[in-house]
Amino acid sequence: MFTITDLEQLQAEHPEWQMELVDGNILVMGPSDFVSEEIGAELIRLLGNWVRPRKLGRVTGSSAGFILPTLETENGKETDSEKRNLRAPDVSFVRADRLKKSQRDFVELVPDLMVEIKSKSDRIKPLVEKIQLFLELGCTVGILIDPDKLTLTVYRLNQEPMALQDNEKLTLPELLPGWELTVSELWPPVFE
């Protein structure tokens, strides 16, 4: 059973590894395929260009770690923070009022928006389960981007997922009033 301290030590020894701590197990994540990473970079750019000038919050990529609260307590007592999960969505947004100053550490909160981008080797079910966990813990919106099907699926707690594609527009009025994204803007361009 590994702890956050164990993960930090392993990360210090192997800074090139991207890891998550899930139920006491350290998961080493492989590098993303080029298309998935390009989509993530574009989404971060588009979100950041809207968020930063308006001072709405913080946008991060796949290396930002979030120490998640537990869904349950052990024997009626809060679990030790060392036993909690440390997860890193591909793209995250945290409202400014929830994180007024960045920390030089993992943050103990659930992002308001989390995005998973299916890479070539990913299976959909674990990605949806990760999104559902974040929603159950307090995340407002979860998004799954599937480059294979050219879809973007929006998840909200206790609502049916909403799949978008092509020229359909993503809006997140509860988090980013006025912001919109045409789904096709995310797909990597083809240069002639």
Please report the pLDDT score of residue 84 as a whole number: 84
Please report the pLDDT score of residue 74 as a whole number: 46
Unique residue bearing structure tokens 């120490």: 67
Count of beta carbons in the 10 Å neighbourhood of residue 139: 25
Dig out the tokens for 178 from the structure: 């006025």
Count of beta carbons in the 10 Å neighbourhood of residue 165: 13
Q: What CATH architecture is 33-64+89-186?
A: Alpha-Beta Complex (3.90)
Backbone angles phi, psi at 129, to 5 degrees: -60, -40
Q: Buried b vs exposed e over 30-43: b needs ≥16 C-beta within 10 Å?
A: eebeebbbbbbebb
Q: What is the pTM (predicted TM-score) of this model? A: 0.90
Count of beta carbons in the 10 Å neighbourhood of residue 174: 11
pLDDT in tens, the chain (192 residues): 899 999 899 988 988 888 889 989 998 887 789 999 999 999 999 999 999 999 999 999 998 999 999 866 444 555 555 568 999 999 999 999 999 999 889 999 999 999 999 999 899 999 999 999 999 999 999 999 999 999 999 999 999 999 999 999 999 999 999 999 999 999 999 999
Q: What are the Cα distances from residue 4, in Å, to 7, 34, 135, 136, 185?
A: 5, 29, 22, 21, 37
Q: What is the CA radius of gyration of the chain?
A: 17
Residues paired with 86 in a beta bridge:
21, 67
Percentages (nearest 5) of helix, strand, coil residues in the chain: 25, 25, 45
Please report the pLDDT score of residue 31 as a whole number: 79
Give the containing element (helix H, strand E) for 4: helix 4-13
Domain boundaries, the chain: 33-64+89-186
Give the span between the Cα atoms of 150 and 180, in whole angstroms: 18
